[in-house]
């Protein structure tokens, strides 16, 4: 009897792992894709991020060249938090006389909007 129960429990655990794990990871990547898509909209919007005014970004048209092209960002910023701090405008990461707006410090974008923009930029 006891043995049978253990067997049933083990079978349930295996089934849960088989069903649960891929579903969980799919949900995570769907969330991530949504964040990236929303971040792209904010980054490209003239009234929000307006990043294209100064940066070349894949998928954007008529980019400016005041700032560097935003490519291979995972290589440039292995630490995603540092990329966020840069876009947020942490004073210690600021380049003197740069035209890069401190998006968080000057409340140009909300914290939530910055999170989405970071996901998008990090995907480039």
Choice between 8 and 66, CB closer to ligand HEC:
66
Is there binding between residue 67 and ligand HEC (CB under 6 A)? yes
CB neighbourhood size of 43 (10 A): 26
Q: Which two tokens stand for residue 21?
A: 């794990």
Residues shown for the chain: 124
Q: Which two tokens stand for residue 88?
A: 């947020």
Write the binding mask 33 to 52 for ligand HEC: x where contact by CB under 6 A, - elsewhere.
Answer: ----------x-----xxx-
Residue 39: CB minimum distance to ligand HEC, A: 9
- Closest of 47, 71, 45 to residue 57, by C-alpha: 71
**Given the rule CB under 6 A, which of 1-9, 10-18, 25-33, 91-99 is the region that contacts ligand HEC?**
91-99
- Inter-residue contact 93 to 85 (CB < 8 Å): yes
- Enumerate binding residues for ligand HEC (CB under 6 A): 43, 49-51, 53-55, 66-68, 70, 76, 83, 86-87, 95, 98-101, 103, 117, 121
């Amino acid at each position: 009897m006891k043995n049978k129960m253990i067997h049933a429990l083990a079978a349930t655990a295996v089934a849960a792992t088989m069903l649960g794990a891929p579903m969980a990871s799919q949900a995570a990547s769907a969330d991530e894709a949504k964040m990236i898509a929303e971040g792209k909209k904010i980054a490209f919007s003239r009234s929000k991020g307006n990043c294209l005014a100064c940066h070349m970004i894949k998928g954007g048209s008529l980019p400016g060249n005041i700032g560097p092209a935003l490519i291979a960002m995972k290589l440039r910023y292995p630490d995603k938090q540092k990329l966020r701090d840069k876009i947020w405008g942490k004073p210690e990461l600021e380049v003197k006389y740069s035209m890069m707006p401190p998006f968080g410090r000057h409340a140009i974008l909300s914290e939530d909007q910055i999170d989405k923009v970071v996901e998008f930029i990090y995907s480039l």
